[in-house]
Amino acid sequence: MVLRRSGAVPDRADPHKWHTAQGVLSVTGAQFINWNLGGGGGGAIDLVMHLHGVGFGQALSGWNGTARRARSRR
């Protein structure tokens, strides 16, 4: 969900690889690595921080807002 909402595009040949504005990511479970930047992390909040260049508080408030909107659509 985070990847798609961030505009990431899945790789056609590798289901674990995503193309993002920050570079190519490999994602396995909650862990990710950015091959272009040489860094990675784990979890949805960490991924939001990485993709959008924001701190923990901004990532958390943005994620909570997204989750609230998704729940309200149900």
Return the higher-pLDDT residue of 65 and 22: 22
* Residue found by looking up tokens 């798609």 in the block: 4
Q: 68 falls in which pLDDT band (50, 70, 90)? A: very low
Return the higher-pLDDT residue of 14 and 71: 14
Please write the tens of the pLDDT for every residue from 3-50.
Answer: 998 899 999 999 999 999 999 999 999 999 999 998 999 999 999 999
Per-residue model confidence (pLDDT) at position 60: 87
Which amino acid is located at 59 in the chain?
A
Distance CA 22, CA 67 (A): 23
Per-residue model confidence (pLDDT) at position 66: 52
Residue 28 host element (H or E)? strand 23-28
Distance CA 65, CA 18 (A): 24
